[in-house]
Amino acid sequence: TPIAELINSLPKAELHLHIEGTLEPELMMSLATKHDIALPYSTIDDVRSAYNFDNLQSFLDLYYLGASVLRDEDDFYRLMWDYLCKCKEDNVVHVEMMFDPQTHTERGIGFEVFMPGFTRAMHQAEQEWGQSSLLIMSFLRHLSEDSAFETLDAAMPYLPMIAAVGLDSSELGNPPEKFARVFAKSKSLGLLRVAHAGEEGPAEYIWSALNELDVHRIDHGVRSVEDTQLMTHLASKQMPLTVCPLSNIKLCVFDKMVDHNILTLLDAGLLVTVNADDPSYFGGYLNDNYRALAANLPITHEQVRTLAENSFKASFLDDVQKAHWL
Ligand code: HPA
Ligand code: ZN
């Protein structure tokens, strides 16, 4: 089989996906019109041509701006529904999605607006084609520890709908240990844990996510190659890394896809997975990410199969559910 067919036909899980990062320019413009919001773009092409990023922060500025068009429950429903339809198309049979409550609560839109919108779409997709999905509540690390605690408090009535907590936004200068107490409280509430680390930040931040936040996965983690002891540790623990190839190129973590280190990580025995991160901003959904690897790196059919299998191994599915896909 050609590798493109293999990529399409393999059942896959997606583990690093920001639902706010799936907001397509078409929906952004139509919601701006619906709510009479002024955006610094006149056309869809204007939006797309603004997506030329130098680093993580230059992306985040446009990501928070884009999210400002999400106002009512139907907007959040539509955002989630469109993404889950894409999962069906890409054979993404299970997804663990991050959402950023503070992106919305900071502008006066509460859990009672976005949670029912998200969960209505998730239940509908589950009913219509058996789509499996769960939510990861991600704290914005550029905001204070107090703000994260307030967010956890506001989430209390919705905890049955939330599987895990995460940590995203501006990494440099906001190390994992800033949120050690929030993650400890989250753990005591029965929440699982992930954190972005080693995307722009150093390998030390990966150690800190492991030791101070007690995470089950590292989001990104590509800078682990800078610390051989860390590489050995990640391999021996089979600690998953949720790698996002197109994201890393758009945010200049690597110059070109041919320079990406994903095969180095795989060859070192790490539990590597492929993910889309913020597909509408980075130019592709999950299968686009696999195709970009196949087009630029000497990746084998066997390695593509391993990456897809790893996505289930690294997931929060229980052993019976994992066995179904492995
Ligand atoms: N890194 C950090 N914060 C984010 C990202 C990311 O890739 N996407 C959305 N928020
Ligand atoms: Zn991310």
Neighbours of 23 (CB within 10 A): 26
Cβ atoms of 209 and 218 within 8 Å: the answer is: yes
Q: How far apart are CA 143 and CA 115, in angstroms?
A: 21
Find the helix packing angle between 73-90 and 286-296, rounded to 10°. 40
Task: Point out the ligand 1 atom lying closest to the alpha carbon of residue 278.
Answer: 8
Cβ atoms of 163 and 134 within 8 Å: the answer is: yes
Is ipTM strictly over 0.90?
yes
Residue 13 CA to its chain's centroid (Å): 12
Per residue in 20-57, pLDDT (tens digit) is 999 999 999 999 999 999 999 999 999 999 999 999 99
By CB neighbour count within 10 A (0-12 exposed, 13-18 middle, 19+ buried), where does 70 fall?
buried
Per residue in 118-133, pLDDT (tens digit) is 999 999 999 999 999 9
User: What's the CA-to-centroid distance between 168 and ligand 1, angstroms?
Assistant: 5
- The verdict on domain 3-316 having CATH code 3.20.20.140 is yes
Residue 109 is predicted with a pLDDT of: 98
What are the domain boundaries of the chain?
A: 3-316
Q: How far apart are CA 236 and CA 231, in angstroms?
A: 9
Per residue in 60-112, pLDDT (tens digit) is 999 999 999 999 999 999 999 999 999 999 999 999 999 999 999 999 999 99
Model confidence at 158: pLDDT above 90: yes
Per residue in 264-273, pLDDT (tens digit) is 999 999 999 9
Question: 279: which 2 tokens?
Answer: 């597909």
Residue 178 is predicted with a pLDDT of: 98
Determine if residue 18 is labeled as part of a ligand binding site.
yes
Task: Point out the ligand 1 atom lying closest to the alpha carbon of residue 220.
Answer: 7
What is the pTM assigned to this prediction?
0.98
Per residue in 159-190, pLDDT (tens digit) is 999 999 999 999 999 999 999 999 999 999 99
Q: Are strands 92-99 and 12-18 parallel, antiparallel or unpaired?
A: parallel
Residues annotated catalytic, as ranges = 199
User: What's the CA-to-centroid distance between 291 and ligand 2, angstroms?
Assistant: 19
Q: How far apart are CA 11 and CA 13, in angstroms?
A: 7
CA distances for 225 relative to 203, 286, 322, angstroms: 8, 24, 29
What DSSP letter does each residue of 296-322 carry, written as one string?
HS---HHHHHHHHHHHHHTSS--HHHH
Per residue in 191-247, pLDDT (tens digit) is 999 999 999 999 999 999 999 999 999 999 999 999 999 999 999 999 999 999 999
Q: How confident is the model at residue 303 (pLDDT cuts 50, 70, 90)?
A: very high
Question: Which mutation among 16, 23, 60, 100 tests ligand 1's pocket best, with the greatest number of atoms within 8 A of CB?
Answer: 60
User: Whole-number mean pLDDT of the chain?
Assistant: 98
What DSSP letter does each residue of 164-203 carry, written as one string?
EEEEES--TT--GGGGHHHHHHHHHTT-EEEEEESSSS-H
Nearest CA to ligand 1 atom 2: 169
Task: Point out the ligand 1 atom lying closest to the alpha carbon of residue 169.
Answer: 3
Determine if residue 142 is labeled as part of a ligand binding site.
no
- What is the average per-residue pLDDT within 258-263? 98
Residue 1 is predicted with a pLDDT of: 82
Determine if residue 35 is labeled as part of a ligand binding site.
no
Pocket of ligand 1 (CB under 6 A): 18, 21, 56, 63, 168-169, 196, 199, 247, 277-278
Helix or strand or coil: residue 252? coil
User: What's the CA-to-centroid distance between 1 and ligand 2, angstroms?
Assistant: 32
User: What's the CA-to-centroid distance between 134 and ligand 2, angstroms?
Assistant: 16
Q: How far apart are CA 305 and CA 302, in angstroms?
A: 5
Nearest CA to ligand 1 atom 10: 169
Determine if residue 54 is labeled as part of a ligand binding site.
no
- What is the average per-residue pLDDT within 294-323? 98
